[in-house]
Structure formats: C-alpha cells, structure tokens
Amino acid sequence: MRRVVYAFGGIFIVIIVVGVGIKAKFGDGMRLEDRTTIPVFSGDVLETVADLEYPPGNIAVSQDGRVFFTLHPDGRPPTKVHELFDGEPVAYPNLEYQTETEGIPFFQSILAIRIDRHNRLWVLDFADFGQGNPRISAFDLGTNELVHTYDFPPDVAGLTSMLNDFQVSPEGDKIYIAETSPLLHHPALIIYDVTTQQSRRVLDSHESVLPENYLIQAPGRDMIIFGIYAMRVGVDSIALDRDGQWLYYGAVNSDTLYRIRSADLNDTSLSDEALGARVETFADKTLSDGLTTDLEGNVYLSDMEHSAIHRLNPEGKLTTLVQDKRLRWPDGFSFGPDGNLYVTCSSLQNVLFVSPDEMRAHAPYQIYRFNPGVRGIAGH
C-alpha cells in the first residue's frame, strides 16, 4: 500500500512539475497597447438581429436579405448551419445535414460561410481539426440544392488542421482559406481552384501567418487555457478587396495586417519563398478575429479585447467605429444589401474550456447590425 501511495505521490509531483514548466514557457505573453480611438458611433447604433441559445460563429447575408449563420463549434450546438426566419434559427438546408446521416453528405464542424456573387452559399467544414474529412460545399440559394463539394487531401488539410475562415473571388473560381493550425502552430493559406477542383497549401509557417507572443485579454478573462497555456491563434482574419485583387490577412495574436496580390497566390510557378517575398505589410492592427472590406477600399476588424469594431482606411489608418460591452468577442462579418454591416458575437471568453452550465449562463448570444456609412458587397 505504501508503494502505491509513493507511486501516486510521484506521479502527482511529475504532473505539478510539468504544469509549472508549461506555464513558465507558454502561460503568459505581452499585452498589446490599446489602439482604439474615439468611436465614430455610440453603441446605440447596434441593432439586435437575433438572440440565440448558442454562440454564433460566422454570418453571410444574401443580396435579397436572407441571413445565414453558423453556431460556433466550440459551443457544442446540436445544429450547425442556419437561416434566420422571423428572428428564429432554422436548420439549413435541412435537419439531415446537421448530424451524420448514412448515404448523404453531412456537416461535421462548421465555422465559416460565405455567399459568392453567383448566389451560392459556400460552407467550410474543418471536420473536428482534420479528424474527419475537411470539406467545402456550395448550395444554390435559388434551389437550396448542393451544387459543389470537395474534400481536401491530407497533405493540404490533415490531422490538427483547422480550415477557419475564407473568401471567394469575384468570379467564384478561387477560394482563399485561412488554415489556423491552432494545435501544432503550422498555419498557412490554402487556395482552392473551383474549376479544376485542386487545392494547394502556401505560405506554410510564414511570418505573416504565425501568431505573435500577445496575450488575448477578453473582457472578464485572460485567454489562458486551464491557467497554464496562453491561447495563440495563427492566421484567421482574411478578406478580399471588392475587385478581388488584394487578399488581406493576419493572425489573431498579431499586431500587423498583411496583404498579397491574388494574382501572385494564383501563380503556381512561384515557390513558397518567392511567394513569401510578395507579401506586404499593410497596417498596424489590434488583435482581431473577423475581417471584411467595403466598396471604398476600407478594411474592417473585429476586436475581441476591447469589444470594438474598427476600420482601416486605404492608407492603413485605424479608426474605431463602435465600442460597446455588448460586443462580446465580435467575430464574423457580412455586409447586407441595405448597407448594414452584420456582426456575430461568439463570446468565446464564456465558451472556450468552460462547462455547459457556465456557457448557458451567459446566453442569449447575439447577432447585431449597424450602418457604417459605406456600403459593401452582400455576403462578404
């Protein structure tokens, strides 16, 4: 018996030592200075679009005003993709897609959705960090039928990958994906050619896609997992300009927004080294999650640390548009046809690594909208 006690005591000491070592190496970080400015609008401009039982992920609003959104996978929702009817979520395209169903395609882990200029809803499935089949699918919104699907091969999106967010080219023939790789920290961009149904992984572990040593300070919680591991997230924020010429992107834990010409990304003759040399530093940014652009060349950022939405003008100057405590981890963006900018609030500080009871205690979770004064392209 004494040997058993000694054995358990030794294991306990090892666990303590390992935990202390992890915390010492990975449990802290720098704190980015507050870059917010005096907001252009008061919080009164925020209009509630929906109150939800589970936290939302991304959102896409069609040219005719249909509102589609995901429920964040980390909220463990029973259904994944939804359309809003009279303020209530309805499973899209139907209930069968929301769970594994024999003989038909189904959704696994859905975060990002976009609507292209051909009225197709694209749905990106990271398949529980590559444990299943990472996939992208498209639904014709005129018929709500599946019209395109593609499974990414393991060398492009394998185990531990996370196909986080994406953008579709104006022509609808190229898709640019942020592969965050939050577990092993080998983030990259993925380019999918819709016409040839081929995909490529580029800028793997390039400095522009890697997280920096910044600690995320969401209101009410520093994002340190189990008190020992600071959450560091690679490339996530991603957006195309209105003409599809520039792709803007950055890591969540980064103070810099980068850009690269889509023509360079599409050039298969360029090596990763040559492609990396084409990357440009665009502007200083806050720690950010969602990203979108408008018709005047501005870039919008969601700022989870300061419950704020910012705009970068074409010269890279940052202006805070709205700051309000109701913006609990502002996440995904989509412009609507009426000029409103829709934003989901995933409130991840109340969702990640907490019990279901604690997550439910912070419900309802919201989707908001407001008019930023400049129009964008619906669905983006």
Rounded Cα distance, 303 and 289, in Å:
7
* Residue of higher predicted confidence among 29 and 306: 306
pLDDT band at residue 87 using 50, 70 and 90 as cut-offs: confident
Answer whether residue 9 shows pLDDT above 80: no
pLDDT digits (tens, 9 = 90+) for 129-183: 999 999 999 999 999 999 999 999 999 999 999 999 999 999 999 999 999 999 8
Instruction: Calculate the alpha carbon distances from 23 to 157, 225, 226, 231 in Å.
Output: 29, 10, 10, 12
Correct CATH for 40-370 of 3.40.50.920, 2.120.10.30, 3.30.470.20, 3.50.50.100: 2.120.10.30
pLDDT band at residue 13 using 50, 70 and 90 as cut-offs: very low
Rounded Cα distance, 374 and 380, in Å:
14
Query: What is the average per-residue pLDDT within 324-331?
Result: 98
pLDDT digits (tens, 9 = 90+) for 347-365: 999 999 999 999 999 999 9
Instruction: Calculate the alpha carbon distances from 290 to 90, 112, 118, 138 in Å.
Output: 24, 10, 23, 21
Which residues are CB-contacts of 171 (< 8 A; sequence separation ≥ 6)?
244
pTM, to two decimals = 0.92
Residue 228: per-residue pLDDT? 73
* φ, ψ (nearest 5 deg) of residue 13: -65, -40
The owner of tokens 């419950």 is 307
DSSP per-residue codes, 183-205? TT---EEEEEETTTTEEEEESTT
Buried b (16+ CB within 10 A) or exposed e, 294-323: beeebbbbbbbbbbbbbbbeeeeebebbbb
Q: Break the chain into its structural domains and give their ranges.
A: 1-30, 40-370
Radius of gyration of the chain (CA): 21
Answer whether residue 373 shows pLDDT above 70: yes
Q: Which residues pair with 166 in a beta bridge?
A: 177
Residue 4: per-residue pLDDT? 37
Token pair, residue 4, equals 């058993």
Residue 28: per-residue pLDDT? 66
Query: What is the average per-residue pLDDT within 220-244?
Result: 92
Query: What is the average per-residue pLDDT within 86-99?
Result: 93
Instruction: Calculate the alpha carbon distances from 168 to 9, 34, 193, 262 in Å.
Output: 56, 32, 10, 11
pLDDT band at residue 27 using 50, 70 and 90 as cut-offs: low
